[in-house]
């Protein structure tokens, strides 16, 4: 528990200690602002905000990324964790205990078999405590966990920076408590082999995880207050200029990332929307039209998208650092190809590092969940 990390498939935490961080440091010296253009878990934005004097702008298509980034980059002082526990987490816990559904919810903390999980899903399918209960209860979360998350959402502090930090803590806690294999695309199904995993995740206390996460990030803050934006990278880049250092970690899968993180997105927006299990399949998803979509994850558009991005960066004279697996990925792009395209307009320096990356959906049975890969750190300098 703790560590300030978020359960996330594409985090760059390890790379920051393996050449990526030093590349940012070198390029930041000549910049007035650092722009994390596809911020994801916020790990890079946090790293830059805590170490450099330049303000950080964190951008992503999905709201949960902005919330996670803001938990650190939007403040220039530490958090009073004791105050947040007294004034937010403890009232949320007491409010959950007083819920009319609490006594029956406790019966499902340790499901023994498929029937118990099915009863939990039926319970949460009726009237309940809130958005998490009705959208995700009995699937990713036990009824008890759903009640706690809903009450904690309702009682979030109103003032910043406490509001963003506490919402981020709930997002992180939900990721660690969700009964799902590495992401929230599909919950574990109540098969004989998966019941032990459901039991493990459903016994976790989301408010304890939130408290631990807050305690870990409380001393972290930005040297200069930054900002976040929920937007398409290709639109934001139009407003950048030569004083910006742009850090880019494009999607490498042909599956939209919003499919994997809709539980986190629901907590970020406090709106689960209409979530259901498709007629074919076992996932639990918002409607297709409600999921953010990136051209970088479309095989038919990824090449055009990266070329448009490079063109815009070159036109505005930005320095940039792109990270991407060296070999061809499922969206049709490779780091080697991106570097080749960039050399048309930039001076390019590349560094190869080794890492283990998510296969976005592997379950370690029919397909490995993570695989070893070479990743390129591609640093772009404007031509004189």
pTM of the complete model beyond 0.75: yes
- pLDDT value at position 235? 93
Return the residue matching tokens 């910049």: 31
Conformational region of residue 136, where left means phi above 0, alpha means psi within -120 to 50, and beta covers everything else: alpha
Can you tell me the mean pLDDT for 81-109? 93
Mean pLDDT of the chain: 86
- pLDDT value at position 367? 42
- pLDDT value at position 332? 73
Rounded distance between C-alpha atoms, residue 137 and residue 275, angstroms: 11
Rounded distance between C-alpha atoms, residue 353 and residue 341, angstroms: 20
Answer whether residue 22 shows pLDDT above 90.
no
Token representation of residue 299: 């095989």
Task: Give the helix/strand (H/E) hosting 347.
Answer: strand 346-358
Domain ranges of the chain: 13-77+221-256+292-382, 81-217
Each residue's pLDDT tens digit, 110-134: 777 899 999 999 999 877 778 999 8
CB 337 within 8 A of CB 297: no
Answer whether residue 364 shows pLDDT above 50.
no
Rounded distance between C-alpha atoms, residue 179 and residue 105, angstroms: 16
CB 319 within 8 A of CB 381: yes
Token representation of residue 260: 């994997």
Distances (CA, A) of 109 to 14, 118, 142, 192, 205: 35, 13, 6, 17, 10
What 3-state class would DSSP assign to 230?
A: strand
The percentage of residues in the chain with a pLDDT greater than 70, rounded to a whole number, is: 83
365 or 239, which is more confident?
239
- pLDDT value at position 1? 57
311 or 259, which is more confident?
311
What 3-state class would DSSP assign to 234?
A: helix
Q: At what angle do helices 143-154 and 114-124 cross, to 10 degrees?
A: 30
Q: Does the domain spanning 13-77+221-256+292-382 belong to CATH 3.40.50.150? A: yes
């Amino acid at each position: 528990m703790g560590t300030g990390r978020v359960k996330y498939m594409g985090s760059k935490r390890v790379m920051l200690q393996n050449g990526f961080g030093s590349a940012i440091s070198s390029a930041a010296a000549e910049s007035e602002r650092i722009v994390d253009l596809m911020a994801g878990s916020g790990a890079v934005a946090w790293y830059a905000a805590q170490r450099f004097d330049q303000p950080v702008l964190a951008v992503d298509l999905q709201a949960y990324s902005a919330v996670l980034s803001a938990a650190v980059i939007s403040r220039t002082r530490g958090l009073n964790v004791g105050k947040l526990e007294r004034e937010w987490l403890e009232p949320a816990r007491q409010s959950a205990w007083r819920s009319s559904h609490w006594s029956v919810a406790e019966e499902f903390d340790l499901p023994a078999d498929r029937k118990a999980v099915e009863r939990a899903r039926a319970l949460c399918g009726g009237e309940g405590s809130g958005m998490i209960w009705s959208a995700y209860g009995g699937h990713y979360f036990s009824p008890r966990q759903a009640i706690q998350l809903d009450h904690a959402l309702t009682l979030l502090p109103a003032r910043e920076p406490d509001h963003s930090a506490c919402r981020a803590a709930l997002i992180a806690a939900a990721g660690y408590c969700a009964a799902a294999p590495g992401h929230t695309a599909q919950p574990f199904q109540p098969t004989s082999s998966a019941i032990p995993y459901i039991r493990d995740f459903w016994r976790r206390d989301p408010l304890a995880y939130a408290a631990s996460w807050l305690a870990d990030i409380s001393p972290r803050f930005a040297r200069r207050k930054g900002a976040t934006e929920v937007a398409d990278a290709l639109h934001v880049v139009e407003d950048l200029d030569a004083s910006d250092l742009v850090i880019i970690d494009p999607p490498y899968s042909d599956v939209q990332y919003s499919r994997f993180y809709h539980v986190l997105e629901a907590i970020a927006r406090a709106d689960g929307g209409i979530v259901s299990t498709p007629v074919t399949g076992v996932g639990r998803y918002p409607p297709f039209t409600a999921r953010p979509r990136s051209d970088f994850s479309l095989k038919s558009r990824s090449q055009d998208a990266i070329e448009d991005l490079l063109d815009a960066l070159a036109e505005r004279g930005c320095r940039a650092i792109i990270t991407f697996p060296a070999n061809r990925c499922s969206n049709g792009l490779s780091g080697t190809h991106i570097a080749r395209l960039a050399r048309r307009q930039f001076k390019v320096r590349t560094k190869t590092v080794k890492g283990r990356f998510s296969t976005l959906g592997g379950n370690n049975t029919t397909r490995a969940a993570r695989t070893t890969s070479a990743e390129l750190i591609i640093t772009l300098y404007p031509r004189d």
